[in-house]
Amino acid sequence: MTASSAPNSAAAAGQISYKDTLNLLQTPFSMRANAKQREPEIQAFWAEQRLYERLSQGNHGEAFTLHDGPPYANGALHVGHALNKILKDIINKTALLQGKRARFVPGWDCHGLPIELKVLQGLSSAERAELTPLSLRRKAHAYALEQVEGQKAGFRRWGIWADWDQPYLTLQKRYEAAQIGVFGAMVLAGHIYRGLKPVHWSPSSRTALAEAELEYPDGHTSPSVYAAFPVVALPDALAAALASAGLNPEQATAAGGLAVAIWTTTPWTLPANLAVSVNGRLNYAICAVAAAGEGPAPAISHLVVAEELREGLETSLGLSLTPLLSVKGEALEGIHYRHPLLERTSPVVIGGDYITTEAGTGLVHTAPGHGVDDFNTGRKYNLPVLCPVDEAGTLTAEAGPFAGTNVLKDANPAILSALEATGLLLKQEPYAHRYPYDWRTKKPTIFRATEQWFASVEGFRQAALEAIAAVEWLPASGRNRIEAMVSERGDWCISRQRTWGVPIPVFYHRDTGEVLLNAATLEHIQGLIAEHGGDVWWERDEAGLLPEPYAADAAQWRKGTDTMDVWFDSGSSWAGVLGGIAGSESRAPELHYPADLYLEGSDQHRGWFQSSLLTSVAVNGKAPYKRVLTHGFTLDEKGRKMSKSLGNVVDPAVLVEGGKNEKQEPAYGADVLRLWVSSVDYSADVPLGPGIVKQLADVYRKVRNTARYLLGNLHDFVPERDAVPYNDLPLLDQWMLQRTAALIDAVGGDFERFEFYRFFQALQNFCVVDLSNVYLDIAKDRLYVSGAAEFRRRSCQTVLSLVVERLAGLIAPVLCHMAEDIWQNLPYPVAEASVFERGWPSAPEPWRQPQLEAPMERIAALRALVNRQLESCRSGGQLGASLEACVQLEFSAAEASNATRDALAWLEGSAHPSVDNLADWLLVSQLQLGGSAPAAVLAEANEEGITVRIAKADGQKCERCWHYETDIGQHSSHPTLCGRCVAVLG
């Protein structure tokens, strides 16, 4: 049968189609989000309305500063970016809705090695050869700006509101100038000094290298050396323990007595040895030494080695090591030993957990000038940073008899033969291991202490700890983390031997090496950078950089070539963006210092939270933030890190815009991504994967369909004309508004505490339970069947309009596009063009009637009981729709039954029986309270003193409302309708 020939039964019979007389849903608000198209349209509407600008600058409330931590300007956005920026946006949008001036200036971290390397990698070797610092900087600048634009487009697509056209970039002139201001203030306060620190050094290219410039070729072999350092003094407790174990302390400290055994693969560092480090928690054995087999007699009688390594060492050293005494490493602290090659003694000290029993002896030869662990341990014990090696790798006079030998050539053999001559060389053999080479010259590198610039944390540690105590840390455990780190951290090395960064504005005297760095030079350079940017340091010679009177003697001075650690860049943002330092203005009047909130991943206790704190405390004596909120990291659904090799990476761009095959990877839209952010307890690490996305998409659809239902039933509603005053509303409607008020109150608290996942749960509960399962379920008859202007329909529409407007407001911080879409589809005029102009939803005080909850709960329980019986009749085929049923209820004296009876009395007392009646609420055609049981009972149940009996309703089914009524057929014009429907049509 074709459509044209299909007879419409009603039309064919010349009758009315009663379906057309119902008040059906009408709304352009679509069931499907069509996010790929609709979200950008909504964003265009916001832009055209200048909504963010108007609200963030024109709101009447207080200014609110959430200061953005700058992501690094390199690479594609990942879900970690989404978690961070969307959380910030939820907080900012909430603040804007609450009438605050929440201005958000986004930032990017633009300097540093990764970008420098990206640029270098993109160059041919010919181009690289011609590269100057300035041309490299210009390429890096262009690359960073390009990356910023790419990331910015992604952030905007997620619906994030910010000053996108005026972001802060750490490469901007004014930012760099403010950073120089921070550095200068620290210099003048005495917090900056120059000192030695070991760095990767390439003797072949005579320069320091960064990690990324190292390579580890196969086949590197070092000389592996075991040596004995003779003990000359023992701490008292250890001396006593040795004595009771049978080793006389005088004998132990005499020549040929006790020695500590060390192992090294860099014998050339032995002249720089200043300590032997042990792990305080490991066990060490003090052993009697004897030759094994036919070996020569050892030059010492006793040796200290890690207990766990003793047996292995017997084999490898060819000695028998008989344990005499076992002690913890901490008991060895305070031993003094004689350097085997030079005339000096040094201590045994406690190193750290870097000392293991994986190789060697468990006692580590420590040369603070030639290793990072050594350096750090040396600082704890105030050891000098001895570095008897020059730029070319040649040992200096400080290396005594080895001066003039080179670490890559003859130093090792010379030192080994000298050691052998002392009899203290226990063993030597070639040792293959991973070793860093210079990526350009392909020659081995060394660790070498060089002059670096430091911020002396010691100088303001106490002030930093006090500042930490004055900040509110969320979660509170964040405070312990940063406190521990700041308590323990050594001085901050802020200089880098790189080109792409902010210059350390210092001059050195060409002859004496004297440093020129004072208020006059700092102020002058700051002014030059404010005007020309950091490039000026490379563009001009000393004469062009020095102020008077120094400029006249410019030839004496050499400008420094170091740049600042990028953590100093981003750690100065409170000055560069919030105007937290004299002479620099905040980027916008709404931004203030200290900021109200910093919000980043929990790794930033080590990073940006800390660098910002240190610079701010050093300059101003206070933290740059009042509150710090942290979030965890994004994992897959099984709690694993996302990685390409595992194939478990969720790409936010694909989630939002869809993949190549949209059947497999649909475009869920930014709101689903945002809903995910709101759904997770981000105080810990958070999962994301395809299963979670599907669940979120379901929740999104539920909320959307609920909103669509509310909108669709309001198409003929004109609030001024049709709205029913609150006091005239039926009980059911007042209950719905009480639930709405409770939701508003709860969500307000959730947002205040940044517990968005509670909002996520409350929202679902409200849409699914309160609205769909209860209120709207009961309201169908009121909305569809009643006359359009009848009280029972208008009162319901009143509630729907009050609820939908507030629902839009409550979801606006998270589901911002959907909220705006709802607002644009309100079928009646409202004063505000955007949901964001309406402000945070509120509930009038009379809505709060918590006493309505208890009777409603009883009736809801009764509905559930009745529904179970109806369901059993339906599944038994005895009944179709619930409207075919008649329900009889009987109550005993049981407690639950009494409470339900009270609830029914409450309902009975309503002034609006056309709405507040139990038969309608149970969705049945007839209800009988007490009396005799129906003739033919289809189902019967008794629970908690309530007896429910189900029978067929009397009468026939009305063709229009589907109720079973006994008055059908009495109206000749509409013989198939009930009296109520006839009245509606009349």
Residue reference for tokens 């963010």: 52
Exposed e or buried b for every residue in 962-975, given b needs 16+ CB within 10 A? Answer: bbbbeebeebeebe
Which one of the spans 217-225, 237-245, 436-444, 957-965 is the region binding Zn ion (CB under 5 A)? 957-965
Pick 2 or 973: Cβ nearer Zn ion: 973
At residue 82, φ and ψ (nearest 5 deg) are -65, -45
Pick 234 or 961: Cβ nearer Zn ion: 961
Pick 732 or 981: Cβ nearer Zn ion: 981
Q: Shortest distance, CB of residue 925 to Zn ion, whole angstroms? A: 10
Q: Can you tell me whether residue 233 is helix, strand or coil?
A: strand
Q: Of these, 961, 966, 969, 973, which contacts Zn ion (CB under 5 A)?
A: 961
Q: Shortest distance, CB of residue 971 to Zn ion, whole angstroms? A: 11
Alpha-carbon distance of 178 to 385, in angstroms, equals 33
Q: Of these, 800, 815, 822, 978, which contacts Zn ion (CB under 5 A)?
A: 978
Which one of the spans 76-84, 249-257, 393-401, 953-961 is the region binding Zn ion (CB under 5 A)? 953-961
Total binding residues toward Zn ion, as defined by CB under 5 A: 5
Q: Of these, 209, 364, 670, 958, which contacts Zn ion (CB under 5 A)?
A: 958
Q: Which residues contact 202 (CB under 8 A, 6 or more apart)?
A: 208, 209, 438, 440, 441, 443, 445
Q: Shortest distance, CB of residue 781 to Zn ion, whole angstroms? A: 10
CA dist list (Å): 363 to 358, 424, 516: 12, 15, 43
Q: Which residues contact 634 (CB under 8 A, 6 or more apart)?
A: 78, 79, 80, 83, 642, 650, 685, 686, 687, 688
Q: Shortest distance, CB of residue 961 to Zn ion, whole angstroms? A: 3
Pick 431 or 791: Cβ nearer Zn ion: 791
Alpha-carbon distance of 638 to 627, in angstroms, equals 32
Q: Can you tell me whether residue 641 is helix, strand or coil?
A: strand
At residue 10, φ and ψ (nearest 5 deg) are -65, -45
Pick 17 or 480: Cβ nearer Zn ion: 17
Which one of the spans 627-635, 775-783, 844-852, 977-985 is the region binding Zn ion (CB under 5 A)? 977-985
Pick 786 or 795: Cβ nearer Zn ion: 786
Q: Shortest distance, CB of residue 879 to Zn ion, whole angstroms? A: 19
Tokens (6 digits) for 557: 């001075």
Which one of the spans 432-440, 496-504, 706-714, 951-959 is the region binding Zn ion (CB under 5 A)? 951-959
Using a 10 angstrom Cβ sphere, with 0-12 exposed, 13-18 middle and 19 or more buried, the burial of residue 648 is: middle
Pairing mode, if any, of strands 625-631 and 563-564? unpaired
Q: Can you tell me whether residue 721 is helix, strand or coil?
A: helix
Q: Shortest distance, CB of residue 960 to Zn ion, whole angstroms? A: 5
Alpha-carbon distance of 434 to 216, in angstroms, equals 6
Q: Shortest distance, CB of residue 984 to Zn ion, whole angstroms? A: 8
Which one of the spans 173-181, 915-923, 938-946, 956-964 is the region binding Zn ion (CB under 5 A)? 956-964
Pick 345 or 966: Cβ nearer Zn ion: 966
Radius of gyration of the chain (CA): 40
Alpha-carbon distance of 565 to 255, in angstroms, equals 49
Provide the angle, in degrees to the nearest 10, between the axes of the packed helices 756-765 and 670-679. 110
Which one of the spans 78-86, 136-144, 694-702, 971-979 is the region binding Zn ion (CB under 5 A)? 971-979
Which one of the spans 146-154, 349-357, 739-747, 975-983 is the region binding Zn ion (CB under 5 A)? 975-983
Does the footprint of Zn ion cover residue 968 (CB under 5 A)?
no
Task: Bin 362: left if φ > 0, else alpha if -120 < ψ < 50, else beta.
Answer: left
Q: Shortest distance, CB of residue 716 to Zn ion, whole angstroms? A: 20
Pick 584 or 786: Cβ nearer Zn ion: 786
In contact, 807 and 818? CB cutoff 8 Å: no
Pick 859 or 961: Cβ nearer Zn ion: 961
Which one of the spans 383-391, 546-554, 598-606, 954-962 is the region binding Zn ion (CB under 5 A)? 954-962
Pick 193 or 784: Cβ nearer Zn ion: 784
Q: Of these, 981, 983, 985, 986, which contacts Zn ion (CB under 5 A)?
A: 981
In contact, 500 and 170? CB cutoff 8 Å: no
Q: Shortest distance, CB of residue 975 to Zn ion, whole angstroms? A: 12
Pick 562 or 959: Cβ nearer Zn ion: 959
Which one of the spans 639-647, 655-663, 750-758, 959-967 is the region binding Zn ion (CB under 5 A)? 959-967
Pick 166 or 970: Cβ nearer Zn ion: 970
In contact, 572 and 555? CB cutoff 8 Å: no
Q: Shortest distance, CB of residue 934 to Zn ion, whole angstroms? A: 22
Question: Any idea of the CA torsion for 261, 264, 266, 269, to the nearest 10 degrees?
Answer: -40
By the criterion CB under 5 A, which residues form the site for Zn ion?
A: 958, 960-961, 978, 981
